Amino acid sequence: MNEKAVKTRFAPSPTGALHLGNLRTALFNVLLARRHGGTFLLRIEDTDRERYRPEAAEALMADLRWLGLEWDEGPGCDGGLGPYCQHDRGGIYAEYYRRLEESGAAYSCFCTPRELELARRAQRAAGRPPRYPGTCARLSADQVAARLEAGERPTLRFRVPPGREVVFEDLVHGPQRFATDDLGDFVIRRGDGTASYLFANAVDDALMGITHVLRGDDHLTNTPRQALVLEALGLTPPRYGHMGLMLGHDGAPLSKRNGSRSVADLRGEGFLPEAVLNYLARVGHAYEEDRLLDLDRLAAGFDAGRLGAGPSRFDAVQLRRWQGEAVQAAAGDRLQAWMGVDDGVPADRIAAFVEAIRPNVLFPAEAREWAEILFGEDPPWEEEALKAVREAGPEMFAAALAAVEASGARMDAITARVKEQTGTKGRRLFLPLRAALTGRCSGPELQPLAPLMGPEGVARRLRRARRVAEEDAGESAC
């Protein structure tokens, strides 16, 4: 792309939570703008009063901010081309509707939803494509006036010119060509006077100076309609790039059932924004670098020409992989806040605690489990751990206890003593100790864990293990 000023946008409709699929298109538009030093605009497409949810727009913006996807222009960030909520743009649209009506490019349609539905059903049944039959396309001015007089509330329909071809160059698909004869006349203004998507979205892109739009493949066939509207208005359309949709892990459209989650869900689970971003940036786009990249580097490596045309599937395993990278890379104090273990970990040991468990946790919930294991009074046993302790026998823990009395909570002293007195080594040495101290067979390195628990904590756990091992010995003796 060599255009001077690239301007992209994200234009969600506030009908619900921001989901992974939408977020990905937002991300790519941010990346494209940043890559070229351009601007990224946010526009709220809230023309549908039926589905509009007032809190959704705020939530959406909060989600974008959480991810670091700030907009250069949009709500709360006036660039002189607002307003940026379509609900507030009715006055602007009115002028363009007037022009379309005047030139005959649009006409009033009095068909009711019921009639239209019936017509569509009949067409389908007859094996024909369901398209507006043109019932109102040739109403005379008098007829229209009379029906308006009678109180009918028509929609405004765009008159698709017959026998033409609309051609455009898609950023990811290359040259595209559509016959207007395959397009039915479509509604550009609802009966209640609000603007429909096909109209508002296209007009606003042009009015707001958008140069590039990256959107889902599902919009590819909308493009010729939008191009026609803009052409009739003498406005310049942006260049479009339609990327393959992100599907669920089963290949079906993304839904709750097959992996789709909202940004709010992800945040609630403890996903780090950079993990989400790094994952999504690689779905439908490839990076040379397969390590965690910040937004600037993600932008630097972004190339709209490398966007995939084919669909891709959501994969939770890969998302988790990036989460792992993000946790390892995060600064200690941020991780501390993220873990939220201030209540369960003594203040003077919290920093060391964070570093000790960092390699072994993906989510705050796991951090809290480790806090409970290390600092709780009576941490729970895992079955395998209990087994390991019983098999080890009480002598091992007695020896460990002696080491703690002599040298404190030091793993090296403990293992040396136990090895010396019982002759165990390797897995048979470490596993029972790990089990005794943590109640688990796997986890963070023991070396830094012991000092965190302190001599008292270590001793208490060793006594508990010895007791359990003794009970077991007694039982077997019977």
By CB under 7 A, what part of segment 262-301 binds RNA? 282-286, 290
Q: How far apart are CA 55 and CA 69, in angstroms?
A: 19
Least gap, CB of 453 to RNA (angstroms): 15
Question: Does the protein bind RNA through residue 53 (CB under 7 A)?
Answer: no
Question: Does the protein bind RNA through residue 13 (CB under 7 A)?
Answer: yes
Cβ closest to RNA, residue 269 vs residue 342: 269
Question: Does the protein bind RNA through residue 256 (CB under 7 A)?
Answer: no
Question: Does the protein bind RNA through residue 384 (CB under 7 A)?
Answer: no
Number of neighbouring beta carbons within 10 Å of residue 337: 13
Cβ closest to RNA, residue 212 vs residue 434: 434
Contact 327, 270 (CB under 8 A): no
* Full DSSP string of 142-210: HHHHHHHHTT---EEEE-PPTT-EEEEEETTTEEEEEEGGG---EEEE-TTSPBPHHHHHHHHHHHTT-
Question: Does the protein bind RNA through residue 258 (CB under 7 A)?
Answer: no
Single out the residue of 277, 429, 458, 468 in contact with RNA (rule: CB under 7 A): 429
- Residues 311-330: x where in contact with RNA by CB under 7 A, - otherwise, as a string: xxx-x-xx--x---------
Window of 87-95, 256-264, 309-317, 349-357 that interacts with RNA by CB under 7 A = 309-317
Question: Does the protein bind RNA through residue 442 (CB under 7 A)?
Answer: yes
Question: Does the protein bind RNA through residue 113 (CB under 7 A)?
Answer: yes
In this structure, the dihedral spanned by the alpha carbons of residues 134, 140, 145 and 150, taken in order and rounded to 10 degrees, is -60
Window of 308-316, 347-355, 450-458, 468-476 that interacts with RNA by CB under 7 A = 308-316
Question: Does the protein bind RNA through residue 132 (CB under 7 A)?
Answer: yes
| DSSP code of residue 247 | E
Question: Does the protein bind RNA through residue 410 (CB under 7 A)?
Answer: no
Q: How far apart are CA 39 and CA 171, in angstroms?
A: 18
Question: Does the protein bind RNA through residue 163 (CB under 7 A)?
Answer: no
- 257: Cβ contacts below 8 Å, ≥ 6 apart: 248
Q: Is 256 labeled as catalytic in the residue annotation?
A: yes
The phi-psi region of residue 393 (left if phi > 0; otherwise alpha if psi is between -120 and 50; otherwise beta) is left
Cβ closest to RNA, residue 286 vs residue 337: 286
Q: How far apart are CA 9 and CA 458, in angstroms?
A: 57
Task: Give, as ranges, the residues between 172 and 201 that touch RNA (CB under 7 A).
Answer: 173, 176, 178-179, 182, 184, 186-187, 190-192, 196-198, 201
Cβ closest to RNA, residue 181 vs residue 342: 181
Question: Does the protein bind RNA through residue 16 (CB under 7 A)?
Answer: no
Least gap, CB of 65 to RNA (angstroms): 21
- Extract the tokens encoding 89: 């743009």
* Phi, psi values for residue 74, rounded to 5°: 150, -160
Beta bridge partners of 239: 212
Number of neighbouring beta carbons within 10 Å of residue 138: 8
Question: Does the protein bind RNA through residue 83 (CB under 7 A)?
Answer: no
Window of 71-79, 245-253, 335-343, 401-409 that interacts with RNA by CB under 7 A = 245-253
- 425: Cβ contacts below 8 Å, ≥ 6 apart: 419
Question: Does the protein bind RNA through residue 59 (CB under 7 A)?
Answer: no
Instruction: Kindly state the number of chain residues that form the binding site for RNA, as judged by CB under 7 A.
Output: 88
Which positions are annotated as active-site residues? 256
